[in-house]
């Protein structure tokens, strides 16, 4: 069982002080942590909403449940866990009429997942090529690496990994898998290293880092998940509620930035119109104009925080819920 094979016993929550300061949870409030992980943020949120508030934790990874149970045993407020992807869980909360005062999405993977020796998220340990956050999902990294055509793989490495040698790597993977399927992380690392020119193997971190990130994002449909969740999270918030998103990839941050900008935008009539005919009013107030990044001190203490970006929006009206498709996310 993977939890026994975990190397790490903690996940240091990223931008934790900033999340608490900007969302300012109060006693009695209901908060939803859509990405419970190790409960680092949830513990801080529980301290703020106790004694009569509620923390609802969501995670698609069943391994998070035992960590949630430990958290719940210590918490001084009401708690509840939903094991599902956050889109499905938020839809359930909306359907049952739950009103949240604060919702957090801390995207990506946890240290528990990266450091689990048998889950294949890391290029450091040899493991089955898996990378599913939810092991109940069918599609795994091995399916992608052995099943996708060269062009699709190359585009994925480029888009989600910003990998300079995406074409060469995809070609090498296809060459090797034609001889025998690539089923372990070490086989994938070997293919990547062989495809990267020798000087580049020693520059810009581990040569497999970007491709592993790209495959993980694709296997778990991380951008699709975010786009489905944003309108549901917005709908689940009460007026005055705060939505906080921590992202680790420029495409995620761009989607959040655009969604929040659309929520905060009022009238869209052409400037030459003497009066407003669109009737559109802002639905959100941006709690900070710019994305908040970790301080150098936080990065020194927790290098995994490095690319984190936090955005927070406060709901001020409930007249419209933008559709990510219409915004072009
Ligand atoms: C970065 S970690 C969160 C860490 C957490 N904030 C903490 O302080 O311990 C992300 C967690 O969210 C979960 N996750 C990622 N995408 C998800 C999704 N679409 N639905 C549900 N859970 C998701 C992952 O399984 C992982 O446990």
Q: Is residue 117 part of a domain?
A: no
What average pLDDT does this structure show over 237-252? 97
Residues 243 and 280 in one domain: yes
Q: Is residue 124 part of a domain?
A: no
User: What is the CA(89)–ligand 1 centre distance, in A?
Assistant: 13
Among residues 284, 271, 276, the alpha carbon closest in space to that of 321 is found at 284
pLDDT tens by residue, 177-229: 999 999 999 999 999 999 998 888 888 789 999 999 999 999 999 999 999 99
Report if residue 122 sits inside a domain: no
Structurally, the chain folds into a number of domains equal to 2
Q: Indicate whether 212 and 283 sit together in one domain.
A: no
CA of 201 to the centre of ligand 1 (A): 31
Residue 8 in this model has a pLDDT that exceeds 60: no
Q: Are 286 and 259 in contact (CB under 8 A)?
A: no
**121 located within any domain:** no
Q: Which of 191, 219, 247 is the last residue of a domain?
A: 219
Pair (229, 106) in one structural domain: yes
The enclosing domain of 275 has a CATH number of 3.40.50.150
Residue 200, domain CATH: 1.10.150.170
8 plus 56 within the same structural domain: yes
Ligand 1 centroid – CA 247 distance (Å): 11
CA 16 distance to own-chain centroid: 15
Q: 150 and 85, same structural domain?
A: no
The pTM of the full predicted model, rounded to 2 decimals, is: 0.95
Average pLDDT of the segment spanning 227-240: 97
* Residue 128 counted as domain residue: no
**pLDDT confidence tier of residue 328, bands split at 50, 70 and 90:** confident
Tokens of 199: 């000087």
pLDDT per residue as tens digits for the range 73-100: 999 999 999 999 999 999 999 999 999 9
- Looking at the fold, whether 297 and 214 belong to one and the same domain comes out as no
Instruction: Let me know whether 194 and 242 are in one domain.
Output: no
Q: Does residue 18 sit in the same domain as residue 92?
A: yes
**Domain boundary, last residue among 186, 219, 252:** 219
Helix (H) or strand (E) holding 148: none
pLDDT of residue 255 exceeding 70 = yes
- 16, 41 contact by CB (below 8 A): yes
* Beta carbon of 213 within 6 Å of any ligand 1 atom: no
232 lines ligand 1 (CB under 6 A): no
- Among protein residues, the one with the nearest Cα to ligand 1's atom 9 is 38
Q: Where does the pLDDT of residue 283 fall: very low under 50, low under 70, confident under 90, or very high at 90 and above?
A: very high
**Do 40 and 74 have their domain in common?**
yes
Residue 213 belongs to domain spanning: 138-219
């Amino acid at each position: 069982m993977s939890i026994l094979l975990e190397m790490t016993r903690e996940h240091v929550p990223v931008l934790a002080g900033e999340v608490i300061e900007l969302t300012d949870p109060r006693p009695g409030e209901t908060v939803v942590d859509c990405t419970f992980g190790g409960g680092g943020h949830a513990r801080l949120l529980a301290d703020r909403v106790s004694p009569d508030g509620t923390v609802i934790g969501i995670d698609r990874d069943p391994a998070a449940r035992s960590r949630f149970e430990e958290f719940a045993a210590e918490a001084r407020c009401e708690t509840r866990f939903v094991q599902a992807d956050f889109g499905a869980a938020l839809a359930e909360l909306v359907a049952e009429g739950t009103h949240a005062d604060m919702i957090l999405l801390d995207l990506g993977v946890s240290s528990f997942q990266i450091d689990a020796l048998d889950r294949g998220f890391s290029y450091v340990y040899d493991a089955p090529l898996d990378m599913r956050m939810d092991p109940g999902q069918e599609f795994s990294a091995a399916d992608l690496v052995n099943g996708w055509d060269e062009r699709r793989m190359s585009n994925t490495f480029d888009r989600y990994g910003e990998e300079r040698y995406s074409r060469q790597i995809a070609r090498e993977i296809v060459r090797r898998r034609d001889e025998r399927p690539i089923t372990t992380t070490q086989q994938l690392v070997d293919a990547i290293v062989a495809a990267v020119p020798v000087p580049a193997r020693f520059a810009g971190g581990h040569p497999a880092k970007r491709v592993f990130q790209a495959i993980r994002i694709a296997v778990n449909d991380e951008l699709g998940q975010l786009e489905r969740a944003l309108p549901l999270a917005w709908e689940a918030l009460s007026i005055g509620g705060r939505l906080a998103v921590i992202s680790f990839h420029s495409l995620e941050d761009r989607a959040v930035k655009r969604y929040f900008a659309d929520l905060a935008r009022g009238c869209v009539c052409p400037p030459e119109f003497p009066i407003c005919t669109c009737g559109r009013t802002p639905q959100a107030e941006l709690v900070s104009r710019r994305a908040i990044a970790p301080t150098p001190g936080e990065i020194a203490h927790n290098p995994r925080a490095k690319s984190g970006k936090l955005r927070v929006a406060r709901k001020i009206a409930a007249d419209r819920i933008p559709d990510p498709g219409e915004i072009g996310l």
